Amino acid sequence: MPAYLIYLCHDVTDRTELETYWRVTQPTFKGQQTHVHTAYTPVEILTGDATVHGVVIADYPSFEACRAWYDSPGYVSGRQHRIRGADYLGLLADGPTADAATAADESDSGLLLPDLDVDPGYVLWLGTTEPSDSQWPAKVSESIVAAGGVCLTATTHVDVLEGKRPVRSVVLARFATTAAARSWYAANQPVSADQDPLVLLVEGGWLPPEKRMPHLQARSSATSST
């Protein structure tokens, strides 16, 4: 069963540290079969009160495989740069769907990057409580499929790796376009009304480091101290 690694960037205090993190952790992906769905593409908050500058969503072959990578010496060392330079929420959620079909290519780096010829839209829904309805995952999945989307996960099996938000449930859905993703969520908000969710609309795709969060390019240790 695959697992989804989800990271939300709430703030950047030292851009140099963050860029160092992006650079030094690249070798840790070698051999990992990390399938990137989206990385630092445009994001919109549909519901909830939060600042989100960037989102990364990737899947791994299993929960255990992702935890082994996350706890590996190389990544543990490298992520200290991100921790010093930015504020992120990091999650690991299991999922029923192995969805490597949208991957464009796999290089020796171990990263499977998204196909840039397609422009899917993702709805990422993070609940702070577990749903009271035991049929909640099935109902959410059915509504996504009925709207022409793919339910990548609807789960309460969530580990908070980093950050303070108490996430207890996750929905991740992919649609052919961001318009279709928005339409599904507008019609299905009652499904999640009792869980005080943070809901994001995220464009599929991948941006190289130099194009990520350009409005935060000037952040450095010098500016963060003022």
Q: Which CATH number belongs to the domain containing residue 196 in this structure?
A: 3.30.70.100
Domain that holds residue 25: 3-212
Asked if residue 225 belongs to a domain, the reply is: no
Query: Phi-psi category of 40—alpha, beta or left, where left has phi over 0 and alpha has psi -120 to 50?
Result: left
With contact defined as beta carbons under 8 Å apart, do 75 and 162 qualify? no
Asked if residue 164 belongs to a domain, the reply is: yes
Asked if residue 172 belongs to a domain, the reply is: yes
Asked if residue 217 belongs to a domain, the reply is: no
Confidence of residue 110 (pLDDT cuts 50, 70, 90): low
Asked if residue 218 belongs to a domain, the reply is: no
Q: What tens digit of pLDDT does each residue of 20-71 get?
A: 999 999 999 998 889 999 999 999 999 998 999 999 999 999 999 999 999 9
Q: What tens digit of pLDDT does each residue of 139-172 get?
A: 899 999 999 999 999 998 999 999 989 999 999 9
pTM (predicted TM-score): 0.87
Question: Domains in the chain: how many in total?
Answer: 1
